[in-house]
Chain A
Amino acid sequence: MGKVLMTGNEAIARGAFEAGVRFAAAYPGTPSTEILENIARYAEIDAQWSCNEKVALEVGLGAALAGSRVLVAMKHVGVNVAADPLMTLSYTGINGGLVLVAADDPGMHSSQNEQDSRHYARLGKVPMLEPSDSQEAKDMVAAALDLSEEFDTPVMLKSSTRISHAQSLVALGDRRDVPVKPYVKDAKKYVMIPAFGRLRHVVVEERMARLRELADRSPLNRIEWRDRSVGVICAGICYQYVREALPEASVLKIGMCYPLPAGLIKEFAAGTEKLYVVEELDPFMEEQIKAMGIAVRGKELFPLVGEISPNMVAEKIAGRALSGRLEVPGHSDEPIPMRPPVLCPGCAHRGVFYILRKLKLVASGDIGCYTLGCLPPLEGMDTCICMGASISGALGLEKGNPDLKGKVVGVIGDSTFFHSGLTGIADIVYNRGTVLTMVLDNRITAMTGHQHHPGSGKTLKGDPTVAIDIGEVCRALGVKRVSEVDPYDLAALEKAIRTEVSAGEPSVLVVRRPCALLDKSAKGIYYIDTGKCIDCGLCMKLGCPAISRGDEAMAVDAVLCTGCGVCVQVCKKEAIVKGGQS
């Protein structure tokens, strides 16, 4: 079979298939989402979206203890959510192999921070592998599962945006038949009460010692001797950048970035004149290498922030970049307008932030498309920290400043609500808070590209399932005031928010409209009656890409307009009229 062009995420999914994985779980998150979307295509693998990353890892560990090979995937910040089971799963070990894929996002292409997930391998005392292209991404899934079973430990596989979303050629293999291992009850191994945990910690440290030995002889780590005047230690995408920038340099390619191969590093250091370590974000390898008593240069040259590039490697180590910006006269004379991400035309979130700003409420926000509601001209969001913090953070805002009582709204999406919203609601009810929680229910996980969730009625594999009702959940949690509103009806939306935010008790407002990208129903489109339009610009405050100030007059773009009708309700002169030509 010829080689196939695959993204890192497709390759990881293929790797799971070939390595005999029987169960996979994840919560969507860029840049990891497509791993499970691709795994779902293999009938041999039972794959699911879980409510959140902690749940995904817990279901995964159950499947592994039961005897199956398992893959669990998440973005870097998802590992924070899954950290609790991960730390103790390291103690219990597994039965069937378990690989946890963590996809980092240096440069924050689509994330709220750029934490370095390699620290989790060290913290949890679990091995971590780091591929440099799609072929390695595929092969390392099998290597991780073999290692997992040989050493009775979960194994982490670290990807990043440039691995997950880059395509390169992959040689495919067949699926290995890995039977389900027998399930054996073993309380001393799987019940982590202190008495048993103390015994298992000793096992973990013994395992680490054996893994350190393995690191030196594993084919995952290798020295490529070339010119010995410069030696570079690197892993992941940085290996490609180093090969591009310094084709003559000797390289110690690290495929297992935790634990590091101390013997190999010492051998490499002894054989090279100048030693460098090239790694994105934290000096994870550098600090460990320095602790071995080896002189190496890393973060004194390379940034702690953002991505590295081949040019940066050439400039910092060889003293000369491979190339530079093409300087064209006039290019910097005039600022080039950016194309910032915006809420789509017809997006149901637009009216919500328009009203929140109009009412001058404090909006405790969350993670999803609706986070864009913080940007001009809407500017209707005050905070966004992590999944679920909207609801619990809103309670804190109210508790932390008496002036904010009756003015605080938590704003959360439907998928985020099932991820981490329920505990926040219970906290508000239990602690006698009075904040209003608005669940922006667009019936899908929109931000990451339309994945199903517990409220959408379909599983990852597309099978019909129970659609959990958000309002019913909130009632069951003790919220007495639960109502629904259509965000396309601005008057009703404003009235509902005004009433509920000052209700003096917990309230949940489910703001329901399917994502505009999925709702293909023809609603007719609008045009601007230039005879009535006074060019006041009120409609521009919605930030709809379909409305623009043309050279002569305001105009609606007939291609972009979805007919949501929100702008009509904002116009005071009845100048926006139905019936434009599509």
Chain B
Amino acid sequence: MPGKVTSVLMVGVGGQGIILASKILARIIQKQGFDLKISEVHGMAQRGGSVVTHLRFGESVSSPIIDAGQADYILAGEKLEAWRWLPMLRTGGTVVTSTQEIKPVPVIMGAQKYPAKIMAALEQEAGGRVGSLVALDALALASACGQPRAANVVLSGVLSRLLGFPPEACEEAVREVVPPRFLAENMRAFRAGYQY
């Protein structure tokens, strides 16, 4: 039997920097000597679309995709996406979500309403079916670091601390993955998340 595999589902809205955040996490995980697999779906014009990245790591990983009820962590750049993908969480798993709200097209068009009580519902589940909930305004934190598009980098910082990854290895990974001209603000964003 292979050792335990940790499954992280990263969800958000196109243009929130989820690709860079998953690259940073992947590099940190690789530095810890784990096997890992990441699965994404590209395709139809993704701007403003729902974006999902499956990340799994452990001693040895087979499937690159996470099934319903299997995610140890859901990392959401937007709260409606946290809510949408919640059935993917295992009982007692952790949700890390930004409290940001990005209206989907049917809401913009006035055809549907943005669900009003997402945070209240998540908070009610915390400590139960949702083992723990970390809710933060990642956009505000990222903006304060000088890069609003680094909201997902903030979240990857939060997750890295929850997973117990050593800060030195994390920061080394950030330096290796982020292009030099964007490094300063992304490093600040990662630290803001790690220290949250």
Binding site for B on A (CB under 8 A): 5, 30-31, 109-110, 133, 161-162, 165-169, 237, 240-241, 243-244, 247, 309-311, 321-328, 330-331, 334-344, 369, 372, 377, 447, 449, 517, 537, 540, 543, 545, 547-549
- Contact flag A328-B42 (CB < 8 Å), given A162-B64, A310-B65, A548-B103: no
CB neighbours of B105 from chain A (8 A): 339-340, 342, 543, 545
CB within 8 Å of A: which B1-23 residues: 1-2, 13
Q: Are B42 and A339 in contact (CB under 8 A)?
A: no
CA distance A336 to B69 in the complex (A): 19
Shortest Cβ distance from residue B81 to the other chain A in the assembled complex, whole angstroms: 8
Interface size class, chain B? 35 or more
CB neighbours of A341 from chain B (8 A): 44-46, 49
**Most B C-beta atoms less than 10 A away, residue of A243, A326, A336, A517:** A326
CB neighbours of A337 from chain B (8 A): 80, 104, 106-107, 112-115
Q: In the complex, which residue of chain A has the Cβ closest to the Cβ of B47?
A: A344
Q: Are A548 and B108 in contact (CB under 8 A)?
A: yes
CA distance A519 to B83 in the complex (A): 35
CA distance A544 to B44 in the complex (A): 17
Q: Are B108 and A545 in contact (CB under 8 A)?
A: yes
Q: Are B108 and A166 in contact (CB under 8 A)?
A: no
CB neighbours of A243 from chain B (8 A): 62-63
0 or 1 for each of B122-164: is its CB under 8 Å from A? (1 = yes): 0001000110000000000000000000000000000000000
CB neighbours of B110 from chain A (8 A): 537, 540, 549
Q: Are A339 and B45 in contact (CB under 8 A)?
A: no
Shortest Cβ distance from residue B19 to the other chain A in the assembled complex, whole angstroms: 11
Contacts between chains A and B (CB distance < 8 A), count: 172
Q: Are A168 and B36 in contact (CB under 8 A)?
A: yes
Identify which of B26, B63, B83, B89 contacts A244 (C-beta below 8 A).
B63
CB neighbours of A328 from chain B (8 A): 86-87, 121, 125, 129-130
Binding site for A on B (CB under 8 A): 1-2, 13, 26, 30, 35-50, 61-65, 67-70, 80, 83-84, 86-91, 93, 103-110, 112-115, 117, 121, 125, 129-130
Shortest Cβ distance from residue B121 to the other chain A in the assembled complex, whole angstroms: 5
19 extra A-B contacts, CB within 8 A, seeds A447-B44, A549-B109: A30-B42, A31-B43, A110-B42, A110-B43, A165-B42, A310-B62, A310-B65, A323-B69, A326-B68, A326-B86, A327-B129, A328-B87, A328-B121, A328-B129, A337-B112, A339-B49, A341-B45, A341-B46, A372-B44
Shortest Cβ distance from residue B193 to the other chain A in the assembled complex, whole angstroms: 22
Shortest Cβ distance from residue A347 to the other chain B in the assembled complex, whole angstroms: 9
CA distance A490 to B104 in the complex (A): 27
10 closest A-B pairs by CB:
A110-B43, A323-B69, A325-B87, A548-B108, A166-B64, A244-B63, A341-B44, A311-B67, A243-B62, A244-B62
Q: In the complex, which residue of chain B has the Cβ closest to the Cβ of A312?
A: B67
Q: In the complex, which residue of chain B has the Cβ closest to the Cβ of A310?
A: B63
